[in-house]
Amino acid sequence: MRPRNIRVIHLDQLRRNMELIRSSVPEGTRVMAVVKADGYGHGAAETARAALAGGADMLAVAAVKEGTQLRKAGISAPILVLGAVTAADVSEGADFGLIQTVCSPEMVFLCEQAAKVTGKQAEVHLKVDTGMGRIGVRSEEERDRVLKALSECPHVRLAGAFTHFSDADGDEDGMAYTQAQYDAFIRLTDGLPEGVIRHCANSAAIHRRKDFALDMVRAGISLYGYPPVECELPLRPCMRWTAKVSYVKEIDAGDYVSYGRTFRAGEKRTVATVTCGYADGYHRCASGKAQVLIHGKRVPVIGRICMDQMMADVTGLENVQPEDEVVLMGRSGSERITAEDLARWSGTISYEILLSVGSRVDRVFSDMKGTDSDADEVEAERE
Ligand SMILES: *Cc1c(COP(=O)(O)O)cnc(C)c1O
C-alpha cells in the first residue's frame, strides 16, 4: 500500500517540459537545467536525468554539496555551481569535476590551489553583477582584477560568464531594468576570450526575451511546469501531492474545530480529518484560506492547520471515508490545485511551495515513457 502522504513526480512530464523549452530557444543555444534545492523539491538526481533525457546540455546547482550528490548518483554531465566558491568546499568541487563560480581574485586563487592538487584543470564561470546586488563583479576594474588572477593560474580555465536578472518577471519598468542589466552584461563581457560562453536568461527571460538567449539559457521553475510569466509553451506541473482522510465525523451547530477555536460551525457539518499538517510543509498561514480536493470536489480546510493534521469541511459529499485520497496539489476530476494556488493562500510564491513539501512526504517517481497526455490527468484517472 502507498504511504499516507506522497508526492508523485511525473518524470515524463519533466522531460517533456525540457523538450518544449529546448525547442523554444534559438538554434545553437544550449539549455541548462537548474536542479538546485533538490530539483526544486522534485528530487535532484531523478530530475537531472529527466532533464538530460529531454535535451538539457548542462546542470546547475546552488552549492558544491548538491553537485557532489549528483556525481555520486552517477551523473557525468557538466554541472555549474551557481553560488560563489568558498574555502570550505572548493576542494570537494574540484575533486568531483564541478564548474565553480568566481567573482574575485581570491576565489580564483582558491580554485587554483584546489585544482593543482587534483592535477587537472578546473573550469570556472565568472559571475557578473548587473543589478541583482547578490554576487558578481560590478565594474570593469573588478572584472579585470579577476581576469588578471586567472592569467596567473594555469590550473583554472575561464569557460563561461553569467549574470542574473532580478526583475525579468516584472512589469514594464522591470523589463526596462532587465534590458539595462542585459546591456551591462554585454558591455562587461564583450572582450572575453573566444570560447567563453555567456548566459543570463532565467525562466522569465527565456519566455519573454528570446533575444537574450546568448550561448545558453538557465531554466528553473519552468522546467517544473510553473512558468513565472505568460508563455505559449504547454508546460505542465510535474508534482502531485496527496494525503488521506483519517477520520470522518458530524459536528453540530456551535461546535469548534482546531486550535484557537477560529472555526465554529453555524450548523450541522461533516468534517474529514486529513493526514497532513505544517510538519509536512503545508503552510500553517494558509489556515482559513486553503482548499483541498476530495472525490474530485473542492472543499475548504477549516480551522487552524495543525502540525500533523488538518480538517476539511466535506458536508454534502457522498460517503467520505478513512483512506480516501485528499489532493493537496494536483488534479482530481475536473478540478486542479496548483502550487500557485497554495502560494496565494500562504502569501508566497510557487517556488517556495514546491520546495517546502516536507521530507517526511515520500516521493514516488512515475515515468510513463512515450505518453504525451497530461500526466496528472493519467494519474487521476488511475485512481
Ligand atoms: C535559481 C536560479 C536560476 C533559475 O531561475 P528560475 O526563475 O527558476 O528559472 C537561474 N540562474 C540563477 C543564477 C539562479 O540562482
Q: Where are the domains of the chain?
A: 11-224, 239-382
- pLDDT at res. 152: 98
Give distance in angstroms: CA of 202 to centre of ligand 1: 5
Query: Could you tell which of 25, 30, 34 is best to mutate to test the pocket of ligand 1, judged by most ligand atoms within 8 Å of the CB?
Result: 34
CA 166 – CA 17 distance, rounded (Å): 24
220 lines ligand 1 (CB under 6 A): yes
Write down the pLDDT at residue 373: 45
Taking the C-alpha atoms of residue 3 and residue 140, their distance in angstroms, rounded to an integer, is 56
**Cα separations in angstroms, 215 against 12, 200, 205:** 27, 9, 14
| Residues forming the active site | 36, 259
**Whether the CB of 218 sits within 6 Å of ligand 1:** yes
Whether the CB of 34 sits within 6 Å of ligand 1:
yes
CA distance 153 to 279: 48
Please tell me the distance between residue 314's alpha carbon and the centre of ligand 1 in angstroms. Answer: 40
Mutate which of 164, 202, 222, 231 for ligand 1 pocket (most atoms within 8 A of beta carbon): 202
Return the half-sphere exposure (C-beta side, CA atoms, 13 A cut-off) of residue 141. Answer: 0
Q: Looking at ligand 1, which atom is closest to the CA of residue 34?
A: 4
116: exposed, middle or buried (Cβ count in 10 Å: 0-12, 13-18, 19+): middle
pLDDT reported for residue 370: 53
Contact 276, 282 (CB under 8 A): yes
Per-residue confidence (pLDDT) for residue 4, from 0 to 100: 84
Query: Does residue 203 line the site of ligand 1, with CB under 6 A?
Result: yes
Task: Give the E-state strand segments of 89-211 in sequence order.
Answer: 99-102, 122-127, 156-162, 197-201
CB 60 within 8 A of CB 66: no
Structurally, at CATH architecture level, domain 11-224 sits in Alpha-Beta Barrel (3.20)
Q: What does pTM read for this prediction? A: 0.95
How many Å lie between the centroid of ligand 1 and the Cα of residue 193? 25
Residue 98, pLDDT score: 98
Per-residue pLDDT of the chain (383 residues; tens, 9 = 90+): 666 899 999 999 999 999 999 999 999 999 999 999 999 999 999 999 999 999 999 999 999 999 999 999 999 999 999 999 999 999 999 999 999 999 999 999 999 999 999 999 999 999 999 999 999 999 999 999 999 999 999 999 999 999 999 999 999 999 999 999 999 999 999 999 999 999 999 999 999 999 999 999 999 999 999 999 999 999 999 999 999 999 999 999 999 999 999 999 999 999 999 999 999 999 999 999 999 999 999 999 999 999 999 999 999 999 999 999 999 999 999 999 999 999 999 999 999 999 999 999 999 999 986 544 445 555 544 43
Residue 381 has what pLDDT? 43
Using the mean position of ligand 1's atoms as its centre, give its distance from the Cα of residue 219 in Å: 7
**According to the CATH classification, is domain 239-382 in 3.10.690.10?**
no
Please indicate whether residue 202, judged by its CB atom, sits closer than 6 Å to ligand 1. Answer: yes
Q: How far apart are the CA of 101 and the centre of ligand 1, in A? A: 14
What is the pLDDT at residue 141? 98
The Cβ-side half-sphere exposure at 211, using a 13 Å CA radius, reads 5
Q: Is 199 in the pocket of ligand 1 (CB under 6 A)?
A: no
25 φψ region: left (φ > 0), alpha (ψ -120 to 50), beta (else): beta
Protein residue whose Cα sits closest to atom 15 of ligand 1: 82
List Cβ neighbours of 324 (8 Å cut-off, separation of 6 or more): 244, 245, 272, 294, 295
